[in-house]
Structures are given as structure tokens and as C-alpha cells.
Amino acid sequence: MLTDDIHADVSALNTSFDVFKFLRKTTEGFGLRYFSVLALPGDASGSFTSHSIINNWPPDMIKTYDRLDVINLSSVASAIRRQVTPVVWHIDDVLTDDISEALAAAMKAFREKGFVRGVNFPVHDFRSLRGSVGFAGDRPPLENRELLELSMISIHIFDRLSRLTHHGEDEASPLSDRELECLRWTAAGKTSSEISTILSLSEHTVNHYLISATKKLDAVNRTQAVAKSIRKGWI
């Protein structure tokens, strides 16, 4: 794929959900399984969930990743913050020191899900916000030409997501952060049960946020609430 083609394809994405579908298709096209887009502000602390802009990780994997604080322990996460070149990794290299039994078990579970090797591209947007676009799977190592193409895609995707979000800031959202989070995950195809796992909330609480968001947006159901929020650029 040529740079001009990538720019044209990504520029045609009008919502965050369009970006999600584009990344899902791209990930599958490279024989990979997972993608993630993270914001990495100056404050390096936080969880995968708090930094995630968009991803297709299974909810149980996110919950385990955050419970074990992998994002703050991993040498890969540290490298993403320090360098500007792609960070290519294998799960066996994620943690260099002795690891706990719980973490060893989690890594084994990740490996069984096909989360074996991957690459994260350090990126930044037009506001100089640092971030990372990552891809992972269990295929053989990516070739140099594939890394180059994914790098260009990552640069354009992060900038596009940032501009979509920035555009949405022109009209303030009436929704709370939790309501927006629940709508984002609903847009990604997650059920209330799955969202409750991702956000460490009860299913009843998730449904409460979704019902509240639907009422505030004068929508007939959560699907319409998602659609309205996407058009406004809030999710």
C-alpha cells in the first residue's frame, strides 16, 4: 500500500467506529489478531484501560493485564515511552526480571490466545500528544516491508483519531466520562456483561450508565445513542 493510498483511506474515516473497523480489517490482513491505540501523556502511570483509545483485546485479557499492572512493569511499555522507532517484542521478553506465579500464568494464558509477538509504533498527533499503535498475534515475525507499512498506517490512524476527538470538543458532550466509556465499548460490539468486566463495574451499573446516556441524548435505545455520539465525535 502506498503512502498516498494510506492517507486517502484513513482520511475517509469519519468516526471512531470507522477507525475500529479499519484497524480490525488491517490487523486481519497482516495475519495478526489484536490491535490497540493508546494515549501516553506525560504522566506515565495508569492502566491499559485508562490509556486505551481503541482496541479489540478480549475483556478478560484486559482485566488480567491491568490487575497485574503489566503496562507499568513491562520493558516493552517502557521502551515505547523512551524511543521513536518501532518496538518489536515477543511475550517471553515482556518482563526481564523474575516474575510472579500469577504473572507467569497470565502470560501462558495470553500465549494460548495467540498473543505471542507483535510490534508497537510510538506516534504523536498534531498537538504533540504521544501515543502508541500496537499489533499482536501468533504469526511468524513481520518482515521489514510489513513493519514499514504498519508504521505508516499507525501514524495516520493516530492523527485521524486525534482529529476526530478534537473536532468533537467543539461541542461539549452532556455525558459523563463513565457514560462515554460504556457507549464506546457498546460501539465496539461489547455486551453489558463484557463492559462490566472491562471497567470493573457491575452489570447493573453499566446498564444504568447506558440508560442515562440514552435519556440525555434523547435517543430511543443505546444503538441510537451510540450513533448520535459517533456523529458528534464524542466516541
Q: Are residues 14 and 113 in the same domain?
A: yes
Q: Are residues 188 and 121 in the same domain?
A: no
As for how many domains the chain has, the answer is: 2
Q: Are residues 48 and 119 in the same domain?
A: yes
Q: Are residues 24 and 56 in the same domain?
A: yes
Q: Which residues, including other chains, have CB under 8 Å from residue 86's CB and lie 6 or more apart?
A: 119, 120, 121, 122, 147, 151
Q: Are residues 142 and 184 in the same domain?
A: no
Q: Are residues 161 and 183 in the same domain?
A: no
Q: Are residues 202 and 132 in the same domain?
A: no
Q: Are residues 93 and 201 in the same domain?
A: no
Predicted confidence at residue 212, as pLDDT, reads: 94
Question: What's the average pLDDT block by block, 10 residues per block, for the chain (235 residues)?
Answer: 75 86 95 93 68 86 88 82 91 75 88 95 86 96 96 94 67 84 87 88 93 90 83 74
DSSP string, the chain: --HHHHHHHHHT--SHHHHHHHHHHHHHHTT--EEEEEE--S-----HHHHEEEE---HHHHHHHHHTTHHHH-HHHHHHHH-SS-EEEEGGGS--S---HHHHHHHHHHHHTT--EEEEEEEE-TT--EEEEEEEESSSPPPHHHHHHHHHHHHHHHHHHHHHHHHHTTS--SS-HHHHHHHHHHHTT--HHHHHHHHT--HHHHHHHHHHHHHHTT-SSHHHHHHHHHHHT--
Q: CATH number of the domain at 12, please.
A: 3.30.450.80
Instruction: Write down the pTM of the prediction.
Output: 0.72
Q: Are residues 181 and 164 in the same domain?
A: no
Predicted confidence at residue 63, as pLDDT, reads: 87
Predicted confidence at residue 113, as pLDDT, reads: 95
Domain end (from 168, 191, 210): 168
Q: Are residues 66 and 91 in the same domain?
A: yes
Predicted confidence at residue 188, as pLDDT, reads: 82
Q: Are residues 147 and 119 in the same domain?
A: yes
Domain end (from 137, 168, 199): 168
Q: Are residues 213 and 103 in the same domain?
A: no
Q: Which structural domain range is residue 225 located in?
A: 177-232
Q: CATH number of the domain at 189, please.
A: 1.10.10.10
Predicted confidence at residue 96, as pLDDT, reads: 61
Domain end (from 147, 168, 189): 168
